Amino acid sequence: MSVTIRLPGALRDAAGGETRLSASGETLRDLIADIDRRHPGFASRVLDEAGALRSYVNVYIGDEDARTRGGSGAAVPDGSEVMVIPAMAGGR
Amino acid sequence: MSRLTADLVRERVRGTILEQIGNTPLIPLRRVGAGLRGDLWVKIESANPGGSVKDRPGLWMVLDAEEDGRLGRRRVVLDATSGNTGVALAMVCAVRRHALELCMPDKVSLERKRIARAFGAQLVLTDPLEGTDGAIREAQRRAAAEPDRYVYVDQYSNPANPLSHELGTAAEIWKQTGGRVTHFVAGVGTSGTIVGVSRALRPKRVRIVAVQPDDAMHGIEGWKHMPTALRPAIWDERVADEHRVMATEEALVMTKRLAREEGIFTGPSGGAAVAAAIAVAREEAGRIVVLIADGGDRYLSTPLWE
């Protein structure tokens, strides 16, 4: 299963300079682990020590907020687009 | 050069809700500040009528554009904002009868969009992955494409932003502490607060402490991680005597402590500023004033209070 993940500029440095990646896995946690294998340290920027989404990280699977579908354990359908964005934006 | 003075601003808004902007309370922190070398006092900017510190620059930027003739009846006020400045500008423009367009990242919380729309603002939603910097670029594009239509107030570059703090916030702090303030601690977003307060209080030997998030990916709403963000034109590192960084997790812990131990319901940036000020107060004695930019109710739909 392969999906496209889009990242904000704030995470570019954690993903080898990329803001659009392909990743494999059945759940959001699997996808993040897949990226972390290629870019060690990525997972800790998005997930806390317990493996849950950090409170200031929002993830959308398609148009749906991942938190409404189980957070980091949310199932990600094949071919989905996943978007990771800061829950709060810098500078108002 | 702005023509605005505190007296002129007061005169222009007399008899309206905008007259209530400023003169916010200064409160001592008795519990989270206990046992430290310095005394901590917080300036509660959520007491402004629009609910945040941004009422100050919002008002001064609009009045400045009126005073210098840029803002005629058929022109539209434009800015980029993810929240509090949008609410402030929307409130000010409603009272002053100006049309307003706000560029903001899509997927900002629902309450922000609804509050701005409640005051009559038009929203232009931009790519959420580009964050506030994407909204800034869209506002710049619109202003350049239709210069006769828009008055782009540009909170990141507008001298009236720090001026509102130099002649307002700083003067209030000086008066409220009877001139005994020794330190001022605030976060850096547009940098208007720290730049303006520094101009007024640093010559009076007040030590200025500027705080930024410790990571580009952070949850301290309103603050900028300057090494990776679009740099505001008004920002100047030299206005601060000391620069500190704050982790989001530490900020969120303090945000919750402020509510439960002090009865102060603030947003993450308030917790971040107080946490940084506590670090200062552990090391240095004096009367340390910390600016709390907004209230916790702006974040009810975020995971912070779940």
| Structural tokens at position B75 | 């022109």
Q: How far is B283 from chain A (nearest CA, A)?
A: 29
Do B271 and B173 belong to one domain? yes
**CB B43, CB B24: distance < 8 Å:** yes
Q: How far is B20 from chain A (nearest CA, A)?
A: 22
Do B83 and B220 belong to one domain? no
Asked if residue B73 has pLDDT above 90, the reply is: no
Domain count, chain B: 2
Residue A91 has a pLDDT of 36
Contacting residues for A1 by C-beta, under 8 A, at least 6 apart: A24, A25, A26, A76, A78
Mean pLDDT of B22-34: 96
Residue B111 has a pLDDT of 78
Dump pLDDT digits (tens) for A34-45.
Answer: 999 999 999 999
Do B59 and B45 belong to one domain? no
Domain termination site, one of B119, B135, B152: B152
Give the helix/strand (H/E) hosting A4: strand A2-6
Flag whether residue A60 sits within 8 Å of chain B, measured between CB atoms: yes
**CB A3, CB A79: distance < 8 Å:** yes
Of A55, A58, A92, the CB nearest to B189: A92
CB interface of B with A, residues 53-82, below 8 Å: 54, 81-82
pLDDT category at A10 given cuts 50, 70, 90 is: confident
**CB B129, CB A8: distance < 8 Å:** yes
Contact B224 A90 (CB under 8 A): yes
Phi-psi region of B66 (alpha: psi -120 to 50; beta: other; left: phi over 0): alpha
Residue of B54, B82, B164, B198 with catalytic role: B54
Contact A89 B108 (CB under 8 A): yes
Asked if residue B281 has pLDDT above 90, the reply is: yes
Residue B286 has a pLDDT of 98
Element counts in chain A: helices (H) and strands (E): 2, 5
**Bridge partner residues of B290 (DSSP):** B42, B185
> Which residues in B lie closer than 8 A to residue A19 (C-beta atoms)?
129
Do B28 and B171 belong to one domain? yes
Which domains can be identified in chain A, with CATH numbers?
2-86 (3.10.20.30)
Do B62 and B111 belong to one domain? yes
Mean pLDDT of B175-201: 97
> Which residues in A lie closer than 8 A to residue B229 (C-beta atoms)?
90-91
Do B47 and B71 belong to one domain? no
The candidate with the shortest Cα–Cα distance to B211, out of B184, B250, B172, B185, is B185
Do B209 and B281 belong to one domain? yes
Of B84, B132, B303, the CB nearest to A90: B132
pLDDT category at A88 given cuts 50, 70, 90 is: low
Do B133 and B194 belong to one domain? no
Write down the mean pLDDT value for chain B: 94
Residue count of chain A: 92
Mean pLDDT of B278-283: 98
Q: What are phi and psi of B3, to 5 degrees?
A: -90, -5
Q: Considering chain A, what percentage of its residues have pLDDT values greater than 90?
A: 71
Dump pLDDT digits (tens) for B148-181.
Answer: 999 999 999 999 999 999 999 999 999 999 999 9
Do B284 and B220 belong to one domain? yes
Residue B196 has a pLDDT of 98
- H helix runs in chain B, sequence order: 6-13, 55-67, 84-96, 110-118, 131-145, 160-164, 170-176, 192-201, 248-262, 268-283
pLDDT category at B247 given cuts 50, 70, 90 is: very high
Q: Which chain A residue is nearest to residue B189, measuring alpha carbons?
A: A91
B113 is catalytic: no
CB interface of A with B, residues 28-57, below 8 Å: 45-46, 53-57
What is d(CA B233, CA B188) in angstroms, rounded to the nearest whole number?
A: 13
> Which residues in A lie closer than 8 A to residue B222 (C-beta atoms)?
88, 90-92
Write down the mean pLDDT value for chain A: 89
Amino acid at A21: L
B83 lies in which domain range? 55-152
Residue B1 domain flag: no
Q: For the whole model, what pTM was predicted?
A: 0.92
Domain termination site, one of B152, B182, B211: B152
Of B216, B219, B222, the CB nearest to A91: B222
Residue B118 domain flag: yes
Residue A92 has a pLDDT of 40
Q: Considering chain B, what percentage of its residues have pLDDT values greater than 70?
A: 99
pLDDT category at A90 given cuts 50, 70, 90 is: very low
Dump pLDDT digits (tens) for B76-92.
Answer: 999 998 789 999 999 99
Dump pLDDT digits (tens) for B225-236.
Answer: 999 888 999 999
Do B235 and B139 belong to one domain? no
pLDDT category at B26 given cuts 50, 70, 90 is: very high
Do B91 and B118 belong to one domain? yes
| More confident position, B198 or A1 | B198
Flag whether residue B83 sits within 8 Å of chain A, measured between CB atoms: yes
Residue B72 has a pLDDT of 83
Do B282 and B178 belong to one domain? yes
User: What ipTM score was computed for the predicted complex, to two decimals?
Assistant: 0.80
Flag whether residue B222 sits within 8 Å of chain A, measured between CB atoms: yes
Of A54, A85, A88, the CB nearest to B268: A88
Dump pLDDT digits (tens) for B93-135.
Answer: 999 999 999 999 886 777 788 899 999 999 999 988 888 888 9
Residue B4 has a pLDDT of 95
Flag whether residue A66 sits within 8 Å of chain B, measured between CB atoms: no
Contact A90 B83 (CB under 8 A): no
Q: How far is B105 from chain A (nearest CA, A)?
A: 8
Interface A-B, measured as beta-carbon pairs within 8 A, has a size of 115
